[in-house]
């Protein structure tokens, strides 16, 4: 009953709002259900140039490394573990001033040294002037310090472990500083110092000094930028905005052929896993444009690069989140059958199901979604192994990145 002073129009409006919201929620649920029913019962991957469901492989993010690389790395490892450091030295020096490639090789050697570092001790003793050996030693010490600390947030790390961490890390930095004096042109020692900076609690000014020294030697170094991004993220000494600005700048000045533009994907990954805010970033025009630039950059990079598959998985995921479904499908075609990477392999997720659902959703939106325009399948063979794919493993395993938290 309407009482005095109550406006029937206002009451009607207040009654209609919940009804409209309920209708919207129901409609969205129906659409959502239709999409996933279609994916489960009607989605034909081959019609979109994609490998079939039963061909999906969750064991890795991309195809295995070429046999010659596996043999080369294993030969270096075998020689080192037998006490001969010379093969490792030659392996490290081979790329010359291609500092990204040289760092990749030092990371392989670091993993070999983690198993047994007697050969590295001998290398340092017999070649005290080797910057590669000193850099490798410093990097190994940093990783050992982070292994003691673990990847938990600081308040969850036992006091004894944190105390040992703060003892080990300065010693590693001292080795890196000494290494820098051995070869002023070598960026490796400065990458080690950049890696240690957040754990050693450098101020922003102190960090910038190290960063300027590094950039004077290798301004587009992808691994170094990843470490710097960690320093500038909100859980360390920056903020979400600072981290995103840093990553966006890397996209803009990354040279052709470099994987540096992929740093933006790592920044989005950081946001997504920490506070779930990546969606709000990629939904904006600026975020979509940056993803498009990253896609172009990955197409220009060496397609055999071992880091490329994991970047393509991230790119496909965030293109889908951004509503750029055709571009996401392009990435799924390049990825091929491999689905052993984030976001499909994460926590208790079934990577095959998650991967298949994501590519099916992109296909639905392209062919049946709002404004959809059906596209022909990719040429035969594109979806089988992915021309952009490449292995991510090594003969001795991946070195990994310390201190993600």
Share of the chain above pLDDT 90, in %: 80
Count Cβ atoms within 10 A of the Cβ of residue 82 and give its class: 0-12 exposed, 13-18 middle, 19 or more buried: exposed
- What pLDDT band is residue 46 in, cutting at 50, 70 and 90? very high
- What pLDDT band is residue 14 in, cutting at 50, 70 and 90? low
For the chain, what are the domain ranges? Answer: 41-65+304-377+386-405, 67-219
> What is the torsion angle, in degrees rounded to the nearest 10, for the CA atoms of residue 395, residue 401, residue 403 and residue 405?
-110
Q: What is the mean pLDDT of the chain?
A: 88
- What pLDDT band is residue 95 in, cutting at 50, 70 and 90? very high
pLDDT tens track for 152-162: 888 899 999 99
What's the Cα-to-Cα distance from 263 to each of 22, 92, 160, 178, 273, rounded to whole Å?
A: 41, 25, 34, 29, 15
Greater confidence, 9 or 355?
355
Provide the pLDDT for residue 101.
Answer: 97
pLDDT tens track for 263-313: 999 999 999 999 999 999 999 999 999 999 999 999 999 999 999 999 999
Provide the pLDDT for residue 25.
Answer: 40
Provide the pLDDT for residue 334.
Answer: 98
- Cis amide bond preceding 135, omega within 30: no
Provide the pLDDT for residue 135.
Answer: 99
Res. 88: pLDDT tops 60: yes
| Closest by Cα among 56, 61, 94, 117 to 398 | 61
Provide the pLDDT for residue 388.
Answer: 34
- Between CA 271 and CA 233 the distance in angstroms is 9
Provide the pLDDT for residue 152.
Answer: 83
Across the range 33-44, mean pLDDT stands at 88
Res. 405: pLDDT tops 50: no
pLDDT tens track for 381-403: 333 333 333 333 333 333 345 55
What's this model's pTM, rounded to 2 decimal places? 0.84
Res. 372: pLDDT tops 80: no
- What pLDDT band is residue 31 in, cutting at 50, 70 and 90? low
Task: Annotate 169-208 with b (16+ C-beta within 10 A) or e (fewer).
Answer: beebbebbeebbebbeebbbbbbbbbbbbbbbebeeeebe
Q: Quick one: tokens of 55?
A: 């061909």
Share of the chain above pLDDT 70, in %: 83
| Closest by Cα among 350, 331, 328, 325 to 340 | 350
Res. 20: pLDDT tops 80: no
CA dihedral sign of residues 295, 262, 73, 91: positive
- Between CA 260 and CA 53 the distance in angstroms is 32
- What pLDDT band is residue 369 in, cutting at 50, 70 and 90? confident
CB atoms within 10 A of CB 235: 17
Q: Which residues contact 160 (CB under 8 A, 6 or more apart)?
A: none
Q: Quick one: tokens of 273?
A: 């896993």
Q: Which residues contact 3 (CB under 8 A, 6 or more apart)?
A: none
Provide the pLDDT for residue 35.
Answer: 84
| Closest by Cα among 297, 366, 293 to 328 | 366
Q: Is 192 helix (H, G, I), strand (E, B) or coil?
A: helix
Across the range 16-38, mean pLDDT stands at 58
Provide the pLDDT for residue 16.
Answer: 58
Provide the pLDDT for residue 383.
Answer: 35
pLDDT tens track for 299-339: 999 999 999 999 999 999 999 999 999 999 999 999 999 99
Residue-wise DSSP of 109-169: HHHHHHH--HHHHHHHHH-TT-HHHHHHHHHHHHHHHHHHH-SS-GGGS-HHHHHHHHHHH
Which segment of 8-22, 128-142, 205-219 scores lowest on mean pLDDT? 8-22
Across the range 331-358, mean pLDDT stands at 97
Please, are residues 49 and 330 in contact by the beta-carbon 8 Å criterion?
Answer: no
Res. 150: pLDDT tops 70: yes
């Amino acid at each position: 009953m309407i009482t005095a002073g109550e406006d029937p129009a206002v009451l009607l409006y207040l009654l209609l709002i919940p009804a409209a919201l309920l209708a919207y929620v129901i409609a969205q649920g129906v659409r959502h259900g239709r999409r996933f029913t279609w994916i489960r019962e009607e989605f034909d991957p081959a019609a979109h140039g994609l490998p079939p469901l039963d061909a999906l492989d969750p064991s890795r993010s991309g195809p295995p490394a070429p046999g010659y690389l596996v043999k080369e790395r294993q030969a270096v490892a075998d020689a080192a573990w037998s006490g001969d450091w010379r093969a490792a030295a030659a392996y490290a020096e081979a790329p010359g001033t291609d500092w990204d490639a040289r760092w990749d090789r030092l990371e392989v050697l670091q993993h070999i040294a983690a198993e047994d570092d007697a050969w590295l001790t001998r290398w340092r003793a017999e070649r005290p002037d080797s910057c590669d050996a000193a850099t490798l030693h410093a990097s190994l010490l940093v990783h050992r310090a982070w292994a003691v600390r673990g990847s938990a947030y600081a308040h969850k790390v036992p006091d004894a472990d944190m105390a040992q961490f703060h003892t080990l890390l300065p010693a590693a930095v001292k080795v890196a500083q000494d290494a820098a004096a051995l070869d002023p042109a070598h960026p490796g020692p400065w990458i080690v110092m950049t890696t240690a900076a957040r754990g050693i609690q450098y101020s922003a000014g102190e960090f910038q000094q190290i960063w300027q020294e590094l950039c004077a030697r290798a301004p587009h170094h992808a691994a170094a930028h990843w470490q710097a991004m960690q320093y500038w993220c909100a859980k360390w000494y920056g903020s979400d905005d600072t981290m995103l600005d840093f990553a966006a700048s890397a996209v803009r000045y990354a040279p052709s052929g470099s994987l540096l533009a992929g740093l933006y994907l790592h920044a989005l990954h950081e946001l997504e896993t920490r506070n779930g805010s990546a969606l709000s970033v990629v939904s904006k025009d600026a975020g979509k444009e940056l993803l498009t630039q990253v896609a172009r950059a990955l197409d220009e990079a060496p397609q055999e690069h071992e880091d490329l598959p994991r970047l393509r998985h991230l790119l496909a995921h965030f293109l889908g989140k951004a509503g750029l479904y055709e571009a996401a499908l392009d990435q799924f075609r390049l990825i091929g059958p491999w689905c052993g990477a984030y976001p499909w392999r994460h926590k208790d997720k079934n990577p095959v199901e998650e991967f298949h659902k994501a590519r099916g959703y992109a296909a639905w939106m392209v062919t049946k979604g709002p404004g959809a325009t059906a596209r022909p399948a990719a040429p035969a063979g594109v979806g089988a192994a992915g021309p952009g794919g490449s292995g991510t493993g090594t003969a001795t395993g991946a070195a990994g990145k310390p201190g993600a938290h």
